[in-house]
Amino acid sequence: MRIVKAEIFKARIALKMPFKTALGSGQATETLFIRLHTDDGLVGMGEASYMGTVVGETLSTGAAAAVEYARLLLDKNPLALKPLTKQMRSLLPNNPTTRSALDMALYDIVGQAVGMPIYALLGGERRPLTTDMTIGIDTPEAMTRTARDYVDRGFSAIKIKLGTAYREDIERVSRIRAEVGDDIQLRVDANQGWDHVTALKVLRELSSLDIQYCEQPVPACDLEGITYLRQLSPVPIMADEAVFDQYDAFRLIKRESCDYINIKLAKSGGIDTAMSISSVAEAAGIKCMIGCMAESRLGLTASAHLASALDNIVFYDLDGAEMHIDDPIEGGLVYHHGGEIELPTAPGLGATIDQTFLDQLEKISVTS
């Protein structure tokens, strides 16, 4: 078997409402969809959802990188997962989001070739997953209304975006806790928005509100700051933007800089490196979360396969597609009441994209 063609589609999927974090705001997600074709007739699907402020890639730069990755993969055997993922990283090491789409498509092909869903291909089983829902930065009043809506829809865990002014962040969380009661799990995410002094001040104030953890309170480059916080904060610290691969994970764990790690395929470059991150964390007794950018259900299905296969992943933040106006995905994971996720059992990814939707997109083809 060999790869004979790659198709690259540039998409922009509108959000139901603007979404704001400490890193910026947006009204749509920019996404690259990938199709890899083999001479045996198998087609692998992948998705790259871009957040340039985190990964340093955009839809335009990603499309250019995807062409280079596709040229590398042409005429190669897709079953050689390890060598191919290593070669892609060596070719363009600083394009993890784009690389994750090609990685995803390769795993899709391999799963189809052996007749196994990806979670089984990874040695796991189909286990229950329940996502949280995320509230973007807004006024405390608006965020509280959103939290009430999520609880009324059955969600038991809510992630609150913070990272602005100290008093406003405290008010946001305090109002939400008062509104939803004590039985709802609350998590906060500053997206690098605080310095370590402000972060400690905020987290000490929030400690009485039973916060499950705080994601990336300080800039990713501030290893001293996150280590300082982990030592003094009453709220557990989760590293996110500071961990792209297993080497980052090892560095933070060795410094005792975090309690948890957030794994995202768009940061790690795909399933292969994500598994390595989880293995390093598991060896150190560090639990992980599977997170997302703003992927459609295609990319989120790959993430859910990974989470289902690895029991060291115990937190699930796979709500990206819930924010989209349109859903062009056929098959794939299904959301149920309260964020329960049902994984497909079909071989490979178990998801594809509506052809009518693809026909409307700009396409780049790479062939032998």
> What's the CA angle centered on 214, arms 160 and 145, to 5 degrees?
15
Nearest to 312 by CA among 290, 341, 339, 345: 290
Q: How far apart are CA 106 and CA 75, in angstroms?
A: 13
Q: How far apart are CA 313 and CA 302, in angstroms?
A: 14
Annotated catalytic residue, options 161, 222, 241, 287 = 161
Annotated catalytic residue, options 108, 169, 240, 248 = 240
Helix axes 59-73, 81-91, angle to 10 degrees: 130
**189 counts as catalytic:** yes
Could you list the beta-strand ranges (E) of the chain.
3-21, 24-38, 43-49, 129-130, 133-135, 157-161, 185-189, 211-215, 237-239, 260-263, 287-290, 313-316, 329-331, 334-335, 340-342, 351-353, 362-367
**264 counts as catalytic:** yes
Q: Which residues contact 66 (CB under 8 A, 6 or more apart)?
A: 6, 8, 32, 34, 48, 98, 101, 102, 364
**161 counts as catalytic:** yes
Annotated catalytic residue, options 264, 272, 317, 319 = 264
Annotated catalytic residue, options 7, 57, 108, 189 = 189
Q: How far apart are CA 72 and CA 88, in angstroms?
A: 7
**295 counts as catalytic:** no
Annotated catalytic residue, options 47, 215, 241, 317 = 215
Q: Which residues are catalytic?
A: 161, 189, 215, 240, 264
